[in-house]
Structure formats: C-alpha cells, structure tokens
Structure 1
C-alpha cells in the first residue's frame, strides 16, 4: 500500500479499493495504517479543486516555514500529472523532481512533505483533485516557482502552452529565489 519513492519523504500510496456490482468502497486515509507505515501528520484541512480544461497547470507551489505544508494528493475525477520537486537546501536530492500520473482509475495518492514544490497538470477535462494539508493556508507564506524553470527541466506531458493562473505566470525561477527549506536528517 505504501511505496517509498526516490526523493526522500515522497510516498506513493495505493489504497485498497473493494469493488462489487454496487460500486466500490475504499479507506483512502487511516490514521492507524499511516502511523504503522511511519507517516504521522496532523491533517487539518481538506481542499478540493476542479479544473475544467485539459492542459490546466497549477503550480509549482509551496508554503514557506514556519507554516510549510505537507500534502496528501489524489485525483478523484479524470487524470493528472502530479509533480513534486525537492527544494530542501542540503538534501541529497535537492533540485530533483518526481512525476506520477494520479487518476480516478488508478486511485493512487502522493504524499508530498514540507520542503517540496508541488504542482499538477490536468490530462483531460473536468479533473477534480482532493488533498489534505497539515497546516492552514497562509497568504504571507504562499509562493510559487515557474513551472517551466530551465534548471528543473520537468517533463510535462503537454502539447502547447498550459492554462495558468496569473500567480503562476509571474512565478520566479529557482535562480531568482532562495529556498526557505532546510534538509534535516
């Protein structure tokens, strides 16, 4: 159910989905199961987004310390390409990214700890994404890095330009930013 990924702290989670002729049932988060897997966050809020058009890109976002956020992300409708970038100064994987398709069909979830940028691209229309966070939103700590930062060279499965928010259009590159996150062993 829990798959550690190459970037320390990222975890791909495959909740069990029990299906029959009526539909399905799935326990997508269980404090007990997550704690047994060494994942213990005090989730305080669930967020739900809808992106109407394929090619909508949200990210790369972060919330700076001391109110940095961990996220548990899943796609409940459609398909997305979900990306996390390690920006913890001194981390052995600093500057590296990981991407994975999350969909209503594969039912996978991505755990993104503090110290990572996060973003996703919708791969089809009407995608819904639900994610838990362990700290409430703080506008002062909110930030973004350019989705197409040349230093990161993220491979987005995209034809043409993405649909972006004004915030994401104006996001700086890594070269013009100093990470507020520090790697701790």
Structure 2
C-alpha cells in the first residue's frame, strides 16, 4: 500500500481523540502520522518490509504504551502510543497487499512482510493488488475523511497533501519502473 494510505489510516485512528481528549489529539495525530510512514523508510535502508516492519513488536509496544497512556496520559506517551499503533497497523496491513517487488502486478514475489519472532515471510494476499492501485487510492480517500473532518490547521493540510500525492502516484505508478529504468 502507499505511504499515503498508511498515513491516512494512522490519522483516522487518532481522529476520535479530538472529541475524547482534545488536548491530546494533536500529539496523537503527529505520532500516528510518523508511525504510519516510518516503516517504509526501509525502502531506502535495509530490506523493505523487513528492516523496519515489525507487525508483532509494534503491536505489543502499542498495547503496552497504550496502557500507560490510559493510566497517565501525557502528550509524549500518547504520541508514542499512536506511533506504535500506526506502525503496527502499517506492518500488518502490508500483508494484505502485494509483494515487495518493483512491479507487483506481475506477482513474482512471495514476500509481503517479515515476521521476526517466527523468522519467516508472510505471503502477499493481494486484497490491494499493488501500491498505487485504484483500490489503494480508494482506501486513502476513505481513511482521509475522518482526520479531515476532525482536525484543522496543519493536520488538515497534511491530509489534503497526502490525497494529492496519492492521486498523482496512482496515475503514474505503473509507468514509474520504466521511467527510472528499474
């Protein structure tokens, strides 16, 4: 899935805090936004969907820090909890997409995401055929609605920027490997 989809999902997870704990909502949104995109930094460093994708560890950390956030909700603890929650959801949701190859529509990879405790790769499920597929754009659009409605200011602008990037990327995704000779 696109980084914009993961970011939108993270922000959608943080959106209810606008009504439940408005003083904590901005830090939750920031943590969720960063957590939603940080696993994909392993595109540039290490092995994609292995080096920074931790479906088990992020989820466990989200549960532990989430408990701390319920007991002692500071802006830092809430931001960290939403970081881990969003990074965990990102890592898990990549399993439902395509493999890690440059042209995932060819379905040549059997590696969706690595599960470190099991020391094995999960096979792609292709519910989202590839990053930038039309259904991926639909997910970005759907998950962008709650944070767009809930937040204002910079977070709302980030949502709009994410949607614009997703529309552009979806329009050109299949041509990119040719353009960049990869």
Which band: TM-score by shorter chain?
under 0.3
Q: Which has the higher strand share?
A: 1
TM-score computed with the length of structure 1 as normaliser:
0.27
Q: Which has the higher helix share?
A: 2
Q: Which has the higher contact order (CA 8 A, sep 6+)?
A: 1
